[in-house]
Structure 1
Amino acid sequence: MLCDRTASDILKDLARGALTVEALMQATLDRIGERNPALNAIVALRPTEDLMAEARAADAVPLAERGPLHGLPMAIKDLSNAKGLVTSQGSPIFAGQVAQEDDIFVARLRAAGVIVIGKTNTPEFGLGSHTYNPVYGATGNVVDPSRSAGGSSGGAAVALAAGMVALADGSDMMGSLRNPAGWNEIYGFRPTWGWIPSEPVGDVFLHPLSTSGPMARTPEDLALLLDVMSGNDPRLPLARGAETVSPLKAPKPLRLGWLGDWGGAYPMDDGLLETCDAALQTFVAQGHTVERVAPPYPAEKIWQSWITLRSFAVAAGLRGLNNRRADLKEAALWELDRGLGFSAQEVQEASDLRSGWMRAAARMFQRYDAVVLPTAQCWPFPIDWDYPKEIAGKPLDTYHRWMEVVVPASLLGLPALAVPAGRGGADHLPIGLQIIGPHGSDGQILGLGQGYHTARAAL
């Protein structure tokens, strides 16, 4: 069906006149009407009459004036601003707040021809990899709506997997482009730091942990969206030049390192590693080498660096709400209080640990072209949980410790592609793989992912 096709195929038909934007918009709204009530992935949907009028106007634009994503409906993650739409961030504090301007990447999407139809659901302030909030409620997993969709780009992942959109944006501080992709059997890509510029507001030096990124149903489509979202901004010190990755190139045979559970440091649900091990054979069948890797740096040092720098960054964003503490969820208060309480030397010590991991990672990438980890340490959990309290009988000491497996890439700003690994466990639920490369290897990682996708689609 039209809504289940790739963005690349849809755009080709639009460009040659075999499909109208009006017909695509109608099919999109029909699919949203069919699937969204049970899943709650898309929120703040614009009025139908406005969207259909915008679609008809898009059909009237001459071919020579159309951008690379002309006529494609997209919903923006509800942490980012799209002019004229609400940006609630899942918080009652901001419910109903209408954005006056587009964020940088949203403006680039519109310039490329995207029609913004609404927003995708997210946890409150994006905290926690489970998409639920007091404004819009919870988003259900596309495989089993009684289970978590992951997060914080859970609404985006489910909208893609259910065919409500063909492309989606997301953001990733602690796996938010990767965990929901793995749990909903689509693709999410965290690019190298600076590939997609953040907003040039407030401090632009101290907190490079999070990044926006693309989500799609194929790596080829990820590359298409990444090229539109990316590009330099002179107001941002980490922003990169106008690097493009599309069309993707198939890489030569690569040497991949399988980090698994980081030498036992990361507890895993039963059957999860076995499912990932089986998926790794797809790379072997394509001529790549997969080797088990000993932990290149102590997991606890990475974690200690992370929870200090993350709280430091989150508190910088939330400190203006310290007088609204009664309106903040427990996780937000935990991050805020920790972040406001650190001394300068505690932050420096966390940065020292991160620098040690950077040096160890550089040595690792001298031996391996990429390394691989699961996208989460557990299967999708019940939607009415706040977060898992234990894994494999091991108690977890924070609300996000079950996502520790995503931290090695996040802490260094490495490119990381989430790909579906298959289903497993007692309830036959999905999990994914993270393919992580050195800085700047975004095109190679996406090319590797496209080969993986093509091989699995042929099975």
Structure 2
Amino acid sequence: MDILEQDAVGVSALLEDRKLSAEELMTATLDRIEAVNGTVNAVVSLRDRDTLMTEARAADAAPRKGWLHGIPMAIKDLANAAGLPTSMGSTLFAGHPAAHDDLMVARLRAAGALIIGKTNTPEFGLGSHTFNPVHGATTNPYDVTRSAGGSSGGAAAALATRMVCVADGSDMMGSLRNPAGWNNVYGMRPTWGRVPGEPEGDMFLHQLATSGPMARSPSDLAALLDTMSGPDPRQPHSLPVSNTLPQLSNPLPRQRLGWLGDWGGALPCDEGILALSESALTQMQGLGHHVAPIAAPFDADLMWQSWITLRSFSVAAGLGEIYADARRRPKLKDTALWEIERGLGFSAMEVHRASVIRSDWFRTAASLFNEVDVLVLPSAQIWPFDVTQDYPKEIAGVAMDTYHRWMQVVIPASLLGLPVVNVPSGFGANGLPNGLQLIGPRGSDARLLQLAQDWHQATRWPQQQPPVI
């Protein structure tokens, strides 16, 4: 039995039954990282082997804390894990160890996770391509000349290459979905508020980004989501614990899937993307679900203008202090400067108008969910691109007017804080993977995971076609 091929829930059961020790698991994990991480560069700030082995042996001797007890995890390098640097891919913060765990990381530790290091991310998480001046670029394990996506690219590549069995990520503009699709794994953006952020700064205005789980199976997504989620009394919009894992075994009624395709031609796609998606949907129909194409339900350009206004407003709020410091400003990459300067330039009424468009789209989506249970879009409009490229400048001959326009397919859900599960959809003729976004109404996290589980039992793409490294 190769323990690194096991799902996290299965590994947890082996540890609980004493059929596997945390020491054995840590040895296998560190050996795997030593063997493959030099190729993909997914795990960064790896802790000392002797220290980690001591912690694993201590876990074997200690009472069991929770389902993650003794399981190695690497935390995305945007979140604080005590004692490890949180570089956020920026030279401004490289080498400075965090004094405490973020709330989400503390919950993972409380469930028994052993934090071994961090996973790579773009600078400040901006852009869906994982490269930065601190740790370099993360490559795609299915073709190491190409991007692993981002901003949870390190987490996705670490999962795909079996360096970890479960991972955390975060998602403002597809960062749990695009890299999951490009690495043939699962990623979930939960209902906004399900996984609370840090109880600091503004907690009312900026409802765009969220943390969430990544894994090689929906059951692992559910287990990790249940650990990460739950209310924080210091935060106004946090939601109850999800308790999704027990629901995965419940019968799933026939689901009505609405296929949005390229949004009526508004979203240019590389050749083969839509064909792969439609092939997967045909397979879903074969599982008993109803699939039907639906017309573009909202003006894509209006939605885009709302998104880039609210996003830049949020980025400027988060990075404005650095920008205001003349000594630190030159350390910001061009795309960060562009976002901040846009965000600082908006009037209050411009932000209000963007939020009105968002509200109009929310009302439209609510009506759509009376007709379908799940909306479906590709997880990315293009295949993984050259890892040396900063971002794609065109798709299918259509010029991209911003550094993130090529990711437009993810914003319908992000703008509204809707739950989304990326499921692997297979491989193109080029041998590269992609995924599907399964989008549901607020609070439908468990049902989306049930649908993903139904798909996984029929396909098992991460197990059927792992990368060869």
Q: Is this a same-fold pair by TM over 0.5?
A: yes
Output the CA distance in 1 between the equivalents of 2:160 and 2:72.
Answer: 15
> Which residue does the alignment assign to 2:62?
61
8 Å contact from structure 1 (residues 43, 120) kept in 2: yes
Letter in 2 for 1:392: A
1:137 aligns with 2:140: no
Query: Residue 412 of structure 1: SS of its match in structure 2?
Result: coil
> Which residue does the alignment assign to 1:447?
450
Deviations along 1:93-137, one digit per CA (max 9) or x if unpaired, are: 111111001000100000000000000000000000000000000
Output the CA distance in 2 between the equivalents of 1:32 and 1:428.
Answer: 24
Which of 411, 416, 439 is matched with 1:436 structurally? 439
The 10-residue stretch of structure 1 (66-75 or 183-192) with the greater mean CA deviation from structure 2: 66-75
Query: Residue 58 of structure 1: SS of its match in structure 2?
Result: helix
8 Å contact from structure 2 (residues 123, 131) kept in 1: yes
How far off its partner does 1:142 sit?
1.2
Which of 417, 421, 426 is matched with 1:417 structurally? 421
How far off its partner does 1:282 sit?
2.2
How far off its partner does 1:242 sit?
2.2
8 Å contact from structure 2 (residues 65, 110) kept in 1: no
How far off its partner does 1:457 sit?
2.8
Unaligned runs of 5+ in 2: 465-469
> Which residue does the alignment assign to 2:254?
253
How far off its partner does 1:326 sit?
1.0
8 Å contact from structure 2 (residues 427, 433) kept in 1: yes
Deviations along 1:131-187, one digit per CA (max 9) or x if unpaired, are: 000000000001011100000000000000000000000000000000000000000
Deviations along 1:255-284, one digit per CA (max 9) or x if unpaired, are: 000001001000000111001110112211
Which of 335, 342, 367 is matched with 2:339 structurally? 335
Query: Residue 226 of structure 2: SS of its match in structure 1?
Result: helix
How far off its partner does 1:368 sit?
0.5
Deviations along 1:344-387, one digit per CA (max 9) or x if unpaired, are: 01000000100000010001001000010001110000000000
Output the CA distance in 2 between the equivalents of 1:314 and 1:66.
Answer: 37
How far off its partner does 1:251 sit?
1.4
1:40 aligns with 2:38: no
Output the CA distance in 1 between the equivalents of 2:242 and 2:433.
Answer: 33
Output the CA distance in 2 between the equivalents of 1:436 and 1:316.
Answer: 28
Letter in 1 for 2:177: R
Output the CA distance in 2 between the equivalents of 1:250 and 1:277.
Answer: 25
1:373 aligns with 2:377: yes
Output the CA distance in 2 between the equivalents of 1:154 and 1:456.
Answer: 23
Output the CA distance in 2 between the equivalents of 1:311 and 1:66.
Answer: 41
Please give the TM-score of this superposition, normalised by the length of structure 2.
0.96
1:2 aligns with 2:3: yes
The 10-residue stretch of structure 1 (403-412 or 279-288) with the greater mean CA deviation from structure 2: 279-288
How far off its partner does 1:288 sit?
0.3
How far off its partner does 1:342 sit?
0.2
8 Å contact from structure 2 (residues 310, 351) kept in 1: yes
Letter in 2 for 1:254: Q
Q: What is the aligned-residue RMSD (CA, Å)?
A: 0.9
Output the CA distance in 2 between the equivalents of 1:47 and 1:303.
Answer: 45
Output the CA distance in 2 between the equivalents of 1:313 and 1:83.
Answer: 26
> Which residue does the alignment assign to 1:262?
263
8 Å contact from structure 1 (residues 250, 451) kept in 2: no
1:21 aligns with 2:22: yes
Matches within 5 A, 1:96-175: 96-175=95-174
> Which residue does the alignment assign to 2:388?
384
Query: Residue 235 of structure 2: SS of its match in structure 1?
Result: coil
Which of 403, 410, 418 is matched with 1:406 structurally? 410
Output the CA distance in 2 between the equivalents of 1:242 and 1:129.
Answer: 29
How far off its partner does 1:9 sit?
1.0
> Which residue does the alignment assign to 2:357?
353
How far off its partner does 1:237 sit?
1.2
Please give the TM-score of this superposition, normalised by the length of structure 1.
0.98
Deviations along 1:170-210, one digit per CA (max 9) or x if unpaired, are: 00000000000000000000000100000011111100100
8 Å contact from structure 1 (residues 376, 405) kept in 2: yes
8 Å contact from structure 2 (residues 260, 375) kept in 1: yes
Matches within 5 A, 1:194-233: 194-233=193-232
Deviations along 1:397-428, one digit per CA (max 9) or x if unpaired, are: 00000000000000000000001111115x22
How far off its partner does 1:5 sit?
1.1
Output the CA distance in 2 between the equivalents of 1:174 and 1:446.
Answer: 20
How far off its partner does 1:442 sit?
0.1
8 Å contact from structure 1 (residues 250, 448) kept in 2: no
Letter in 1 for 2:386: P
Letter in 2 for 1:391: I
Output the CA distance in 1 between the equivalents of 2:176 and 2:91.
Answer: 24
Structure 1 vs Structure 2: percent identity of aligned residues?
60
The 10-residue stretch of structure 1 (327-336 or 238-247) with the greater mean CA deviation from structure 2: 238-247
How far off its partner does 1:250 sit?
3.9
How many pairs does the alignment contain? 456
Unaligned runs of 5+ in 1: none
Output the CA distance in 2 between the equivalents of 1:136 and 1:16.
Answer: 38
Which of 446, 453, 459 is matched with 1:456 structurally? 459
Output the CA distance in 1 between the equivalents of 2:68 and 2:450.
Answer: 21
1:50 aligns with 2:54: no
